[in-house]
Amino acid sequence: MPKEPEISLTEKTFVLEALKQNLRVDGRDLQSFRDIQLTFGDDYGFVDVRLGKTRVLARISAEVTKPRPDRQFEGMFTITTEMGPMASPVFEIGRPTELDHTLSRLLEKSIRRSTALDVESLCIVTGKRVWSLRADVHFLSHDGNLTDTACIAVITALAHFRLPVVTVSGEDITIHSVTERVPVPLSLLHWPICVTFSFFGEDEGGDMVCAIDATAQEEALRMGDMTVTVNKNGEVCQISKSGGVAVEAEVLMRCARLAAGKVKVVDKLIAEALREDEVRRNKGNLDWLKEGKSENER
């Protein structure tokens, strides 16, 4: 089984000492994200998120299925995350690492349990037909902070996705293709966004050194971590800190407040990117209409 190369002692000391002086190897300060780049694909519900060298894809797909017998009014929503050797040779197919488990649980708690998506709106015919939505998360490149990146990717993809219009007549349902009826966006109740803090021990003043959006190198050196999921309304959807260095409650609260601030910025960034894509897409639609016309004439 391949292992992550160990970081040399010199490098380790350098990075940790620098962090204690509020400096990072890539020149950021401790409380800032790397540049978040969102790229959308040709179809709805596909997004490519980059944070520095970390790169994650998310794709939403929908199909019509039967609902679960105990949840007749609700559609289904699943998030699948599978890490492969593309992101890092450490990840093997079919042999999930601990990171795999924690990440999928975190996304589950952050997005599904916080009811970001109104699953009742996915119901077509009660007890007979519902939409089953799935979010596939693909990890392409791992340079730290996969959790936050994956969360941003899923939320953005959900906000970008459009569900085909369905008309019901009695027992029969008709799914209209994109060209027949304009598909509708999902009903998202809020956008929960994860912020992961990494703890690096105490500096000379006795304060805990904590940084957000750690790179893979920083992740390998950290002494503990905590993921806080907040939405822009300041509601904490999930907190998880398991083990690692023990931290004062006050520091944790400071982290939570900082996360709330960061999330507002990220939220705005996602909204902006979605709007830009919408504009681009509408332009494209006009071209497509023209093309469609010429085809009809022929």
Residues at the site binding other proteins, with contacts judged by CB under 8 A: 1-2, 41-43, 46, 48, 53, 55, 57, 59, 61, 80, 82, 84-89, 93, 98, 101-102, 104-105, 108-109, 113-114, 134, 136, 138, 140-143, 223-224, 226, 230, 234-249, 252-253, 256-257, 260, 291, 294-295, 298
Contact 236, 228 (CB under 8 A): yes
Sign of CA dihedral 66, 72, 75, 77: negative
**Nearest residue (CB) to other proteins, 129 versus 222:** 222
32 Cβ contact partners less than 8 Å away, ≥ 6 residues apart: 212, 213
| Measured distance CA(156)–CA(49) in Å, rounded | 9
**Nearest residue (CB) to other proteins, 185 versus 261:** 261
**Nearest residue (CB) to other proteins, 80 versus 167:** 80
Give the residues across from 227 on adjacent strands: 196, 240
Query: In whole angstroms, what separates CA 291 from the centre of its chain?
Result: 36
225 Cβ contact partners less than 8 Å away, ≥ 6 residues apart: 196, 197, 198, 199, 214, 219, 241, 244
| Measured distance CA(146)–CA(264) in Å, rounded | 20
**Nearest residue (CB) to other proteins, 114 versus 196:** 114
Q: At 68, which helix (H) or strand (E)?
A: none
Give the residues across from 193 on adjacent strands: 230
Minimum CB separation of residue 260 from other proteins in Å reads 6
**Position 90, amino acid:** V
Q: Which two tokens stand for residue 226?
A: 């905590």
**Nearest residue (CB) to other proteins, 169 versus 286:** 286
Minimum CB separation of residue 8 from other proteins in Å reads 15
Minimum CB separation of residue 171 from other proteins in Å reads 27
**Nearest residue (CB) to other proteins, 128 versus 217:** 217
**Position 92, amino acid:** E
Minimum CB separation of residue 64 from other proteins in Å reads 15
**Nearest residue (CB) to other proteins, 126 versus 187:** 187
Contact 196, 258 (CB under 8 A): no
**Nearest residue (CB) to other proteins, 101 versus 126:** 101
Instruction: Write the CA distances from 8 to 5, 12, 13, 88, 253, integer angstroms.
Output: 9, 6, 9, 19, 34
Minimum CB separation of residue 243 from other proteins in Å reads 3
Minimum CB separation of residue 96 from other proteins in Å reads 9
Using DSSP, state whether 285 is helix, strand or coil: helix
Minimum CB separation of residue 261 from other proteins in Å reads 10
Q: Which two tokens stand for residue 289?
A: 């209409």
Minimum CB separation of residue 48 from other proteins in Å reads 8
